Amino acid sequence: MKKFLTLILFLIINLVIYSQGVTIAVDAGTPDESAILDIRSDSQGLLFPRMTTVQRDAILSPAESLLIFNTDTKCFESWVYGSWQSVWCGTAPCFGSEAASSISGNNLVCTSGNTSLSVVGGTLGTGAQWVWYKDLCSGTPIDYGTSINVSPLANTTYFVRAEGDCDTTSCVSIDITMIDIPDAPVADAATSLGDTYFTANWQSVSTATSYFLEVSEDVGFSSFVLNSDVGNVLFYDMTGLDCSTTYYYRIRAVNSCGESVNSNSITLTTDGCGCSPVPCSGLPTVTYNGYTYNTVQIGTQCWMVENLRTTKYRNGTDINQAETDPLWSAAGTDGRYCSAGSGGDGLFYNYYAANSTNNLCPTGWRTPTSSDFTTLTNNVPNAASIMDNVTWLGDNSCGWTGRNGGYRAANGTYYDSQHGYHWTTSSAGGGYYVDFRLYNNLSYQINTFGSPPTYGEYVRCVKE
């Protein structure tokens, strides 16, 4: 009974009914004469039934002009002519785009190549996307998105801008330049030619970013003194070369698309060496097994000045001494030594000692190869310059101090004491081994026919 009286009181306070209509208001009042229902408020609104599309479609037999608000479509909808029709739909807020600051990508593209272009900076507004153009920032777009891949056929300018529901930004662009593999450069004659150096020169290629220099002692470039990218320069100083030696050089131009074919080849010959004998830098002498050897620097090589005279290997193992003919000529592949021939200096060793895995020369030194003697002879003016001038016929201007003494044959007999024979570790084939010979007619020979390993010859150590 109490609840019923409260409801009656509420209606008396808030609902005033007149013959022409009804007013609903906090402060009541007279309804508008044209309205059957007059709802008034300056702080609140009217809420129609709100529902999803599924809930709307579940209404049984909706009355003609039934009105609801669809929360899926954000539209006021009414049942008219047997279907739900939109009366009015809301519009989402519109946010503008911010233009890109630039385009990233490689602006140098090889012929038949491609590159990726990407938007840098900027933001997309309502319903916006990045739109790409070429040549002009208008017309038919070529692609869409933050990044695209392009394969231009010629120099091309690409543009991008944001286009959306609210606005279209200004364009940013990138210029793509097409480049080819560079043409071959032209090699020019060498300059600043000396005994162990020269300067290689070549002409510029406009599309090159660096140059590849090949220098060889072989006209066919089967091996190389230098085979390297020397940078974006037009000359290169070659140093540390051999005297009186013919060299060849050629150039290739390089850029990001590849390398050119080889240039023409330039031929030159370094000057003859003038020796100024000095001890090896930081190593004027070497003491080994009780004997001190002097050293001499010739070109890039450091040599002992005296022939070896050790009776032990580097590891301390004794070398077999074979002074008598029977001992020397006895069969076997063991290392042996004996005294040098007449007028000689140092000891003779057979090849087995000279090339022993126990190592005949001290640590950091080795028995020379035939190539070591080739380098030596390339860096001296003549044989006399490395032959002793006190006990022999040379002038020893290069300080190598070669001595005569001949060799000892397999049967123990000494021969050719007027000449000097020196072992290398290089094979001549057929069980023979290359040796280096100084002759008393002031000449030298790298004897590639070789000598039997049972011969006794000098060993002159070279620095490793």
Whether residues 155 and 217 share a domain: the answer is no
* 16 is a domain residue: no
Other beta carbons within 10 Å of 212? 20
Q: Is the pLDDT of residue 36 over 90?
A: no
Mark which of 126, 161, 179 sits at the end of a domain: 179
Q: CA 451 to CA 420: how far, in whole Å?
A: 14
Write the pLDDT tens digit of every residue in 53-110: 999 999 999 999 999 999 999 999 999 999 999 999 988 788 999 999 999 999 989 9
Whether residues 218 and 250 share a domain: the answer is yes
pLDDT score recorded for residue 23:
60
Q: CA 427 to CA 245: how far, in whole Å?
A: 24
pLDDT score recorded for residue 274:
74
Q: Average pLDDT in the 111-134 region?
A: 95
**Mean pLDDT lowest for which of 9-18, 139-148, 292-301, 327-336?**
9-18
Other beta carbons within 10 Å of 129? 13
Residue 389's contacts (CB-CB under 8 Å, 6 or more residues apart) are 395, 396
* 274 is a domain residue: no
* 201 is a domain residue: yes
Residue with tokens 């126990």: 358
Give the closest residue to 305 by CA, choosing from 315, 316, 290, 294: 294
* 24 is a domain residue: no
CATH number of domain containing 146: 2.60.40.10
**Mean pLDDT lowest for which of 30-39, 169-178, 296-305, 394-403?**
30-39
Q: Is the pLDDT of residue 120 over 50?
A: yes
Please give the structure tokens belonging to residue 124. 């997309």
Whether residues 212 and 322 share a domain: the answer is no
Average pLDDT in the chain: 92
Whether residues 454 and 365 share a domain: the answer is yes
Q: Check residue 384 and report its DSSP letter.
A: G
Whether residues 112 and 169 share a domain: the answer is yes
Mark which of 179, 211, 226 sits at the end of a domain: 179
Do 425 and 367 contact (CB within 8 A), yes or no? yes
Q: What count of residues does the chain have? A: 464
Q: CA 256 to CA 208: how far, in whole Å?
A: 9
Whether residues 129 and 224 share a domain: the answer is no
Under the banding of pLDDT at 50, 70 and 90, the label for residue 17 is very low
* 6 is a domain residue: no
Instruction: Give me the number of domains the chain comprises.
Output: 3
Whether residues 351 and 219 share a domain: the answer is no
Whether residues 291 and 395 share a domain: the answer is yes
Mark which of 146, 179, 212 sits at the end of a domain: 179
Whether residues 344 and 414 share a domain: the answer is yes
Whether residues 170 and 229 share a domain: the answer is no
For residue 165, give Cα distances in angstroms to 92, 100, 124, 312, 314: 11, 17, 10, 95, 88
Q: Tell me the residue range of the domain where 235 lies.
A: 187-269
Q: CA 87 to CA 69: how far, in whole Å?
A: 10
* 87 is a domain residue: no
Q: CA 56 to CA 54: how far, in whole Å?
A: 5
For residue 354, give Cα distances in angstroms to 207, 419, 430: 55, 19, 18
Q: Is the pLDDT of residue 13 over 50?
A: no
Give the closest residue to 433 by CA, choosing from 288, 333, 341, 365: 333
Do 404 and 395 contact (CB within 8 A), yes or no? no
* 96 is a domain residue: no
Whether residues 329 and 457 share a domain: the answer is yes
Whether residues 292 and 263 share a domain: the answer is no
Q: Check residue 232 and report its DSSP letter.
A: S
pTM: 0.49
* 327 is a domain residue: yes
